[in-house]
Structure 1
Amino acid sequence: MIFTNLKDSLQNESLSKEIKKCIEFTNKNKIEEYEAGVYEVPGTDMKMNVGHYTTKAESECFWETHLKYIDVQVMLKGEEYIAFNNVHNLKKIKTDEKNDLIEHEGDELFRVLMKEGDVLILYPEDAHMPGVKVNEPISVKKVVFKIKAEKI
C-alpha cells in the first residue's frame, strides 16, 4: 500500500510509470464530471471505474482483494475511511475471477482517511474495505484505476 496526494510531486515522481499515468490523467481531466461507470484510459491498456456512491457503516461494507490488478484509488469529492489488512490475516469467503474480486472476512489492522485529492495504491495482497463513513454517510466521487499487476 502506498498513500500519496495528487499534488505531492516529490513522492509521485518515485512511483512506477503506470501509476504516474493515473495521477497525470486525473490531474489533466475533469473525472469528477464523468458519469459513474467503467472507462478506457486513452493511450493505455488501463481501465478506470468512476464511482458515485454514499459511504456506509463498516458493518455494511466488505473486505476485498484482487488477483490480477493493482488499484490506484483517487478521491475526487468527499471523504471516506478505507480499512486495511494483509490478505494473509483474513479468511477468503468468495472468489469472482471474472470481476477480479475476492471477498474476505476478518478484523481491521488500521484505516486510512481518504480526502479530496488523496491517492491510495493497493497491491493484490492489500485487503481493503472501501466506502466506510467518517461521521455520517455522505456522497463521494472516486475513480479507481486498474493496472495489470505484471505491469508494475
Structure 2
Amino acid sequence: MIIGNIEHLNLIPYLPTKLKEAIETVKQQVNDNTINGRYQIDGDNVFYMVSQTLSRTQEEGKYEYHAKYIDIQIVLSGQEGMAVSTLPPHTEVIEDKLTNGDIAFVKAPTEETMFVLQPNDFVIFYPHEVHKPLCIVGGKTEQIRKVVVKVAMD
C-alpha cells in the first residue's frame, strides 16, 4: 500500500513509473465536468472509473481485495474513510468474483486500521491487500467523488 497526494508525487520517489503515469493521466483528463463512467488509458491494461457514491458505516462496508489489478483510489471531493488490514485476505472469502470481476469480499479481519483520504489524496493497493473503501468520516454520510484506476499486473 502506498498513500500520497496527486499534487505532490515528487514526495514519493519510489512510485513505479507506470503508476505515476496513470495518476498523471487522471490529473490531466478528469475535472469537475467529467461524467461518471469508465475511461481507457491502455485498453484493459490500464483504465479508470469515475464515480460518485455515498459513504457508509463500517458495518455496512465490505472488505475486498483484487488479484489481477493494482487499485489506485483517488478522492476528488469529500472525505473518505478507508479501513485496511495487513492480515492475509484468504482466511474466509465471503464472495469470490475474482474470475469475472477481479474482486473478492472477505470476512472482516480482527485487526484493522482506519485512515482518512482528503480531496487529491490517493491510496494504491497491490493485489491481495485487503481494504474497505467509502467509510463514513465524523459520523455523517457524504457524497464522495473519486477515481479508481486499474493497472494490470503483467
Identify the range of structure 1 (79-88 vs 44-53) with the bigger mean alpha-carbon deviation.
44-53
- What letter is aligned with 2:146? K
Mapped partners of 1:128, 1:119: distance in 2: 13
Q: Secondary structure at the match of 1:33?
A: coil
Mapped partners of 2:85, 2:92: distance in 1: 11
| Alignment partner, residue 41 of structure 1 | 41
Give aligned pairs, total: 150
Mapped partners of 2:14, 2:86: distance in 1: 23
Identify the range of structure 1 (102-111 vs 137-146) with the bigger mean alpha-carbon deviation.
102-111
CA contact (8 A) 1:69 1:146 kept: yes
Q: Secondary structure at the match of 1:59?
A: coil
CA contact (8 A) 2:74 2:146 kept: yes
| Alignment partner, residue 95 of structure 2 | 94
Aligned-residue offset at 1:78: 0.7
Instruction: Provide, for residues 21-78 of structure 1, a one-character-per-residue CA deviation record: whole Å limited to 9, x for no partner.
Output: 1221122223442222221126883110111011011111101000100001110111
| Alignment partner, residue 144 of structure 1 | 148
Mapped partners of 2:107, 2:44: distance in 1: 34
Matched-pair identity in %: 25
| Alignment partner, residue 50 of structure 1 | 50
Matched, 1:121 2:124: yes
Give ranges in structure 2 of 5+ residues lacking alignment. Answer: none
- What letter is aligned with 2:121? D
- What letter is aligned with 1:40? Q
Instruction: Provide TM-score, normalisation by structure 2.
Output: 0.88
- What letter is aligned with 1:6? I
Instruction: Provide TM-score, normalisation by structure 1.
Output: 0.89
Mapped partners of 1:141, 1:92: distance in 2: 28
Mapped partners of 2:95, 2:135: distance in 1: 21
Give ranges in structure 1 of 5+ residues lacking alignment. Answer: none
- What letter is aligned with 1:65? Y
